[in-house]
Amino acid sequence: MYYDIVVLGGGVGGGEASVRLAVAFPSKTLVLVSAYPVVYSKMTLSYGLKLSVKSIDPYVIYTPEDLKNRGVTFIHDTAILVEPSVKAVVLRSGRKIEYGTLVVATGSKPRIPPIRGIDLKGVFAFQTFDDMLELSRVAEPGKRALVVGTGMIGLLVLDALSSRGVRAYAVDILNYPGLTAIEEPLSKIILSAMKSRGVQFIGGVTVERLIGRRRVEGAILSNGEKLPADFVVFSIGVSPNIPEGLEKLHRDGSGALLTDSFLRTSERNIYAIGDCATTIDFQTGKNVYRPLGIIASYAARILPRTLEGVGYSGFMAYQVEEAFDLTFMRVGINGFEAKRLGIAYSLALVELRVPALGVVRDLVLFEKGSDRLIGWQSVGKYLASYKSKVFESMIREKRSVEELQEKGFKVIEASD
């Protein structure tokens, strides 16, 4: 069977892209191939864990019927091989479909370390609705959990588990939680909130092995410490999930498919969006790998234009999460990314007086030498979105840290 456009992957990026492409190109035949029977959002799965949600219905974005009504053919199957030389995709069912244009939106897969004991029962990842259901079944009050990795997903899982009365330990190779998203001064605020909830954090260590007979009973850390655990959740990042047959396409160091200003790979008729692909960073013009749902959504929205030959100038990172009664928010480049991009930067603490809230303090990153703002971060009990647009505009306009004074902010501390 031939389709003008074939979209592989029914996540937020693939689902949204297929609908927008069907609207933009109504005369073209289009099919979405998805390993899951519906298109659903994974962005708020931690709330499902916290509230013991058992139905996927609140997360569904598109059903097959919804897609059909929008001009999208839906196939519940998995692509196991792409054959660019003949423009064909082989599905697990044995079915073969041919394409004119291919959009790869196959997402990512959790990183699971190849350590001893990893195959014991009671070891989980947290990425899909099924993962959430499995974890919810064992997350009973009084149980002991070990969460490995305290990036944003790990923090959301810890928040949900502790709110259910689970006794949680958290370990991370970095010295403080959340350092892949925010800077140390704000990370310490999160650590304090974790401790107040009873979460025990151990930084600067890794898990060497898991112990137990048939089911996990604990872990041995790189510092020799032994932690008891009734179950373990790994949240140490993701790797691009790319079908076989695309090995010749150019990739970055993470293994993600490199894309240009048209979201196009090194194969002219193959495009890629979401967690399996890089995008262009607005501030530097460089390719970056940002496995964030909002970046997948951005890419899906502009894909119809890029297929028509209209390029884009890049995306700016924008991230907001809520855990431990705190809201985390960041716009632009963070320290973790700045180091990878070769940007020398400094930090500044800024202060703003807000009616009814009092003094609110945030963190900005600025480039050494030019003092150009490159990032903004906030952690607190009050949603800071009303300020995020101010900082986003200043970052886009390449304003300096000194110009914050004109916006009513006071720079009270700056450090390397």
Residue 389: per-residue pLDDT: 86
List Cβ neighbours of 302 (8 Å cut-off, separation of 6 or more).
Answer: 263, 312
Q: pLDDT for 240-287, tens place per residue? A: 999 999 999 999 999 999 999 999 999 999 999 999 999 999 999 999
Residue 382: per-residue pLDDT: 64
Residue 412 confidence class, pLDDT cut points 50, 70, 90: confident
In angstroms and rounded to an integer, the radius of gyration of the C-alpha atoms of the chain is: 22
Residue 387 confidence class, pLDDT cut points 50, 70, 90: confident
- Do the Cβ atoms of 378 and 328 come closer than 8 Å? yes
Residue 205: per-residue pLDDT: 98
Q: pLDDT for 215-228, tens place per residue? A: 999 999 999 999 99
Q: Which of 199, 242, 294 has the alpha carbon at shortest distance from 107?
A: 242
Q: For helices 184-196 and 152-163, what crossing angle results, to 10°?
A: 20
Residue 194: per-residue pLDDT: 97
The torsion angles phi and psi of 50, rounded to 5 degrees, stand at: -65, -40
Place of tokens 């609207």: 23
Strand partners, 3: 99
CA dist., res. 194 & res. 323, Å (int): 9
Q: pLDDT for 104-114, tens place per residue? A: 999 999 999 99
CA dist., res. 226 & res. 230, Å (int): 13
Q: Which of 128, 151, 135 has the alpha carbon at shortest distance from 11?
A: 128
The torsion angles phi and psi of 154, rounded to 5 degrees, stand at: -60, -40
Q: Give me the percent of the chain exceeding a pLDDT of 90.
A: 90
Residue 101: per-residue pLDDT: 98
Collapsed DSSP state (helix, strand, coil) of residue 123: strand
Q: What is the mean pLDDT of residues 86-115?
A: 97
- Do the Cβ atoms of 286 and 296 come closer than 8 Å? no
Domains of the chain with bracketed CATH: 2-108+238-307 (3.50.50.60), 112-234 (3.50.50.60), 325-415 (3.30.390.30)
Encoded amino acid at 359, one letter = V
- Reading the block at residue 25, the tokens are 């190109």
List Cβ neighbours of 155 (8 Å cut-off, separation of 6 or more).
Answer: 177, 178, 190, 194, 321, 323, 324
Q: Which of 173, 201, 146 has the alpha carbon at shortest distance from 135?
A: 146
Residue 322: per-residue pLDDT: 92
List Cβ neighbours of 57 (8 Å cut-off, separation of 6 or more).
Answer: none
Determine how many CB atoms are found less than 10 A away from the CB of residue 254.
14
Residue 357: per-residue pLDDT: 66
CA dist., res. 404 & res. 410, Å (int): 7
Collapsed DSSP state (helix, strand, coil) of residue 380: strand
Q: Which of 11, 239, 23 has the alpha carbon at shortest distance from 125?
A: 239
More confident site: 355 or 33: 33
pLDDT at 384 over 60: no
- Give me the count of residues in the chain: 416
The pTM for the full model equals 0.94
Which contiguous run of DSSP H or E holds residue 247? none
